[in-house]
Amino acid sequence: MSRRQLGLLFICYLVPFAVANGLLSLLPVYVQRFEVSATGTGFYLALTFAALTAGSLFSGWLSQRFQRHTLFIVLSAGLGGIATFLMGPAPTIGLLALFTALAWFMGGIQVAMINILTGLFADKQHRGRIFGILGVAPVVGGILGGASAGPIVDHWGFGVLFAVNGLAYGVALVAALFLADKAPSDSPVGAGRKAEAPARMNRPLRLLFAASVLVATANFMAGLVRPLAMNALNFDSTVISSTVAVGSAFTLPLPLVLGWLSDRVGRKRLLIACYVAIAGGAALFGFAGFLWQFWLAQTLISFIRSERSLSSAFATDLVPPRNLNSHLSRLSSAAWIGAVIGYATGGIILQALGATLTMLLAAGLPLVAISLIYAIRPTSNQAVTVETQRLSTQTLTHPAV
């Protein structure tokens, strides 16, 4: 993959995560002006991510049917920006939910299309590094969104926040106009095929998908509890949103470093390390009362961004190239399915049991996910591919004299 292509993909990937991190850090607080309960807030956010899941899954069909990835990145960025802008003047919770769902639906298409393009362009020897570089974008997005959202709200209000984030999508739209939409290998992946039935996921990919759903559920339960708990402790909007920025800043190099390491030591053990960190962060949120405790917990939870890039690289190892489009779009949807489950159940559990028990339950989910990752065994063909990749990496690192 050329540096130019990777840079453009990075920009297109950065924008939706910057917008989402900034808005999600304060949306649970914002909807309280509509007199919505914790359960209602959870269902509102669950609906939002149900739309994002639909967009992510729909992108697999779009990719198979039209093979026009950059076109759909451009369209989703434009429509997503408009919907985000309209969230500001929405006078009722119903209209707010509608515009939020539309914005996240377009975000699902955009993110999934970028993952598909990255998988098509990434060569086997540097796949982990490329996905690792791309995985830095959500972390940078967390810093930008978290650092800017609170001060904007404290100085100018939520209306300006929605307007600024809507306009930010214009950056992704312009970058997408210059993206190449053809793999360097000129591989006819899906060429000439229309509306072909998507291939079924194999067992290793199903296990990876289920593990990704579990850790995402824990992450989004924490995303619901944290701002509400901090608001109850009288932290202002700047402090609440900047907690996301702090966690992202501390984990900024991790996706790149872990992606590079995964090309050398394998993906599984690094995924497991991420799961352990996420479990620790979720548990700490249940007892946090001071700002530094929220910062530490959010830093551990922020390992989720490294988990996503590692999972994408791992999935690309586990499936044949001809099925890459549909399988990567499905894996992209795992995080959003986890969001639907996490927000919907998290709101109910939070209202019934309180923050501490809610987060202790969330902390158990990544531990279950570890057992699923341990159970992944590559097929013989996949084992050969992984071994060839390892030997190629060793040859590049230590050439024969």
Q: How many helices, marked H, and strands, marked E, lie in the chain?
A: 16, 0
Question: Residue range 293-307: average pLDDT?
Answer: 91
pLDDT (tens digit per residue) in 182-191:
644 444 444 4
How far apart CA 279 and CA 368 sit, in angstroms, is 10
Model confidence, pTM: 0.75
Question: Residue range 63-92: average pLDDT?
Answer: 92
As a CATH number, domain 3-181+201-395 is 1.20.1250.20
How far apart CA 302 and CA 256 sit, in angstroms, is 14
Question: pLDDT band for position 277 (50/70/90)?
Answer: very high
Lowest-confidence region among 140-144, 169-173, 200-204: 200-204
Residue ranges of the alpha helices (H) in 25-177? Answer: 27-30, 38-66, 69-87, 93-121, 127-156, 158-176
How far apart CA 92 and CA 31 sit, in angstroms, is 10
Identify which has the larger pLDDT, 299 or 197.
Answer: 299
Q: Note the pLDDT of residue 293.
A: 95
Report CA dihedral (60, 61, 66, 71) to the nearest 10 degrees: -50
pLDDT (tens digit per residue) in 24-69:
989 999 998 899 888 999 999 999 999 988 998 888 788 878 888 8
Does residue 399 register a pLDDT over 50? Answer: no
Residue-averaged pLDDT of the chain:
85
